[in-house]
């Protein structure tokens, strides 16, 4: 790293530290009881994370009183922003009557019916407390249905903290995303399940190449493997799910994030024959109890959030994201630094590279120091995006806040220009 880069970085860090002393103090305290000072890996960044104390609509405030326009929305889950009125009302109405019961509750059927009506691949649904648990359950269903163990997944894809997928193992085969030929070659009659995201979310919002997903789905069907489409992030992008928008018929769909209205949630939905393997009414069924599965608060909040996310709300979100992406690319061009924005619906990623990546490997090629400099510069401009460069919009963002975000990127690019242009990757 040359001196210009080091100096530019020190300036950013110094400015950040000068306005976030309470967060710094909190971080010291947190390190004494939480490993690394956090309880969620993605929330840690250098020199320490700002501590968010409250959020209203599209604006969040940290312990020192600094405000940020939130374009992360708890990693796509808060599709209506913070403290959304209909969610608050639904939760307030439910709370006095108890939050969770070791029994069925009408709120479960209400959300289940909404999900089944809305997403054509979902004939039956089972709720969990996270997308990770939904992945785990889908894997068990696929193995039980096929009597096979192998899984095919894609490099950079994130399906939650599922050991077989995240850590790999003897039963897991990884294939580069968008490499349909290689995928088709390894998906054979020994494979229980193929897990795929409609776009690589965590690994840089890399879109699927045209026809890629359909080829994978066809091949899985041909060899009797279960085709699992992970829509934990993607569900927000199309009124009937991305599978409907793309004409795909996954055997199982993983859901999460928006269907919980901001509360912990996950779900597996899909074909009745497969989902019925989890029916406790059947002898030898797959047991899948979770103490908080289908809790009343999540169910009520999820129903309120989904009801407010109709086709026109989604079209507006996606349109705004398109507009913001163009403004960010134009600002980068004006600042003379390489940047490209990839987008899936209302989820985007700003890559500090001339060309949009088509795989996780390409998305990973940007120096981490550039990404963290952009992230810190954005915080200084009052924009709260993911440290790795991802952002997404909520329905709470209006024209003024969108303009603030676009302006924030323009200023942040100016701040980091010498850092980026002093070196090529
Ligand atoms: N699948 C995808 C595509 C995700 O983006 C995530 C979370 N970011 C998960 C699964 C796991 O969900 P959760 O964090 O609720 O366990």
Q: What is the per-residue pLDDT across 365-399, written as a single tens digit (0 to 9) for each?
A: 999 999 999 999 999 999 999 999 999 999 999 99
Task: Give residue 122's pLDDT band: very low, low, confident or very high (50, 70, 90).
Answer: very high
Separation of CA 265 and ligand 1 centre (Å) = 10
Distance (Å, whole) CA 345 – CA 189? 34
Neighbours of 96 (CB within 10 A): 7
Separation of CA 419 and ligand 1 centre (Å) = 33
Q: Which pLDDT belongs to residue 419?
A: 79
Find the CATH number of the domain harbouring 359. 3.90.1150.10
Are 268 and 254 spatial neighbours (Cβ–Cβ below 8 Å)? yes
Which atom from ligand 1 is nearest to the alpha carbon of 264?
Answer: 15
Task: Give residue 47's pLDDT band: very low, low, confident or very high (50, 70, 90).
Answer: very high
Please give the share of the chain, as a percent, with pLDDT higher than 90.
94
Distance (Å, whole) CA 343 – CA 207? 7
Listed in sequence order, the residues at least 6 apart from 416 whose beta carbon sits closer than 8 Å to its beta carbon are 8, 12, 337, 370, 373, 374, 377
Separation of CA 273 and ligand 1 centre (Å) = 25
Distance (Å, whole) CA 351 – CA 420? 12
Lowest-pLDDT range of 44-48, 132-136, 234-238, 415-419: 415-419
Give tens-digit pLDDT for 194-217. 999 999 999 999 999 999 999 999
Which atom from ligand 1 is nearest to the alpha carbon of 157?
Answer: 3
Separation of CA 247 and ligand 1 centre (Å) = 23
User: 3-class secondary structure for 250-293?
Assistant: CCEEEEEHHHHCCCCCEEEEECHHHHHHHCCCCCCCCCCCCCCC
Which atom from ligand 1 is nearest to the alpha carbon of 75?
Answer: 8
Give tens-digit pLDDT for 308-317. 999 999 999 9
Q: Region 219-237: what's the mean pLDDT?
A: 98
pLDDT surpassing 80 at residue 422: no
Question: 115 and 230: one domain?
Answer: yes
Q: Which of 252, 285, 308 is the last residue of a domain?
A: 308
Q: Which pLDDT belongs to residue 425?
A: 45
The strand pair at 252-256 and 266-270 is best described as antiparallel
Token representation of residue 213: 């997903």
Question: 278 and 366: one domain?
Answer: no
Q: Region 271-283: what's the mean pLDDT?
A: 96
74, 75, 76, 132: which to mutate for ligand 1, most atoms within 8 A of CB?
Answer: 132
201, 235, 267: which to mutate for ligand 1, most atoms within 8 A of CB?
Answer: 201
Question: 268 and 343: one domain?
Answer: no
Give tens-digit pLDDT for 136-160. 999 999 999 999 999 999 999 999 9
Token representation of residue 125: 């649904």
Higher pLDDT, 3 or 361: 361
Are 52 and 78 spatial neighbours (Cβ–Cβ below 8 Å)? no
Report which protein residue has its CA nearest ligand 1's atom 1: 159
Give tens-digit pLDDT for 249-274. 999 999 999 999 999 999 999 999 99
Find the CATH number of the domain harbouring 215. 3.40.640.10
Q: Which pLDDT belongs to residue 10?
A: 83
Separation of CA 160 and ligand 1 centre (Å) = 5
Q: How many domains does the chain have?
A: 2
Report which protein residue has its CA nearest ligand 1's atom 10: 159
Are 246 and 199 spatial neighbours (Cβ–Cβ below 8 Å)? no
Give tens-digit pLDDT for 4-23. 577 778 889 999 999 999 99
Question: 298 and 389: one domain?
Answer: no
Instruction: For the chain, state the CA radius of gyration.
Output: 22
End-to-end CA distance of the chain: 11
pLDDT surpassing 50 at residue 2: no
Closest CA to 87 of 269, 260, 257: 260
The DSSP 8-state label assigned to residue 234 in this structure reads G
Which atom from ligand 1 is nearest to the alpha carbon of 131?
Answer: 12
Token representation of residue 37: 């000072």
Give tens-digit pLDDT for 307-340. 999 999 999 999 999 999 999 999 999 999 999 9
Separation of CA 30 and ligand 1 centre (Å) = 25
CA–CA–CA angle 402, 44, 156 (5° rounding): 80
Neighbours of 68 (CB within 10 A): 24
Ligand 1, CB cutoff 6 Å, lining residues: 75, 130-132, 135, 158-160, 197, 201-202, 230, 232-233, 256, 266
Report which protein residue has its CA nearest ligand 1's atom 5: 233
Q: Which pLDDT belongs to residue 423?
A: 52
Which atom from ligand 1 is nearest to the alpha carbon of 160?
Answer: 11
State the number of CA atoms in the 13 A half-sphere of 83 facing the CB: 8
Question: 359 and 327: one domain?
Answer: yes
Q: Which of 262, 282, 308 is the last residue of a domain?
A: 308
Q: Which of 308, 336, 370 is the last residue of a domain?
A: 308
Question: 323 and 300: one domain?
Answer: no
What pTM does this model have?
0.97
Question: 124 and 156: one domain?
Answer: yes
Distances (CA, A) of 187 to 166, 180, 181, 257: 19, 10, 10, 29
Domain around 211: 85-308
Separation of CA 159 and ligand 1 centre (Å) = 6
Task: Give residue 424's pLDDT band: very low, low, confident or very high (50, 70, 90).
Answer: very low
Question: 200 and 347: one domain?
Answer: no
135, 160, 234, 292: which to mutate for ligand 1, most atoms within 8 A of CB?
Answer: 160
Which atom from ligand 1 is nearest to the alpha carbon of 132?
Answer: 16
Question: 219 and 293: one domain?
Answer: yes
Which atom from ligand 1 is nearest to the alpha carbon of 257?
Answer: 15
Separation of CA 297 and ligand 1 centre (Å) = 20
Separation of CA 232 and ligand 1 centre (Å) = 6
Question: 242 and 112: one domain?
Answer: yes
Q: Which pLDDT belongs to residue 4?
A: 54
Question: 197 and 149: one domain?
Answer: yes
Report which protein residue has its CA nearest ligand 1's atom 7: 160
Distance (Å, whole) CA 7 – CA 384? 24
Question: 414 and 317: one domain?
Answer: yes
């Amino acid at each position: 790293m040359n001196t210009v880069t080091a100096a530019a970085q020190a300036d950013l860090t110094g400015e950040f530290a000068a306005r976030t002393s309470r967060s710094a103090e909190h971080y010291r305290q947190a390190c004494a009881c939480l490993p690394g000072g956090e309880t969620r890996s993605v929330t840690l960044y250098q020199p320490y994370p700002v501590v968010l104390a409250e959020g209203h609509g599209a604006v969040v405030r940290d312990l020192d009183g600094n405000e940020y326009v939130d374009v992360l929305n708890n990693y796509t889950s808060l599709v209506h922003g913070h403290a959304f009125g209909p969610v608050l009302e639904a939760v307030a109405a439910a709370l006095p009557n108890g939050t969770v019961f070791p029994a069925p509750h009408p709120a479960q059927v209400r959300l289940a019916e909404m999900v089944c009506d809305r997403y054509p691949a979902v004939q039956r649904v089972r709720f969990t407390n996270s997308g990770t648990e939904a992945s785990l359950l889908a894997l068990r269903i696929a193995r039980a249905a096929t009597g096979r163990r192998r899984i095919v997944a894609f490099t950079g894809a994130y399906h939650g903290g599922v050991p077989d997928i995240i850590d790999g193992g003897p039963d897991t085969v990884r294939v580069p995303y968008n490499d349909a030929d290689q995928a088709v070659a390894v998906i054979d009659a020994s494979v229980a399940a193929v897990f795929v995201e409609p776009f690589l979310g965590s690994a840089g919002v890399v879109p699927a190449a045209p026809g890629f997903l359909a080829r994978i789905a066809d091949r899985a069907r041909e060899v009797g493997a279960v085709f699992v489409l992970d829509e934990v992030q993607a569900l927000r992008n199309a009124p009937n799910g991305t599978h409907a928008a793309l004409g795909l018929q996954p055997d199982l769909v993983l859901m999460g994030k928006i269907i919980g209205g901001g509360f912990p949630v996950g779900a597996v939905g899909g074909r009745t024959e497969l989902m019925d393997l989890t029916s406790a009414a059947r002898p030898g069924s797959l047991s899948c109890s979770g103490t908080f599965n289908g809790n009343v608060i999540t169910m009520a909040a999820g129903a309120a959030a989904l009801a407010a996310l109709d086709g026109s709300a989604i079209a507006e979100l996606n349109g705004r994201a398109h507009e913001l992406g163009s403004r960010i690319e134009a600002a980068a061009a004006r600042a003379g630094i390489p940047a490209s924005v990839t987008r899936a619906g209302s989820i985007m990623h700003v890559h500090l590279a001339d060309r949009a990546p088509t795989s996780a490997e390409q998305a990973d090629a940007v120096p981490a120091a550039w990404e963290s400099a952009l992230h810190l510069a954005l915080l200084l401009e009052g924009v709260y995006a993911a440290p790795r460069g991802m952002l997404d919009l909520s329905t709470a963002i209006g024209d003024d806040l969108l303009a603030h975000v676009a302006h924030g990127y323009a200023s942040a690019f100016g701040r980091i220009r010498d850092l980026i242009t002093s070196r090529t990757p």
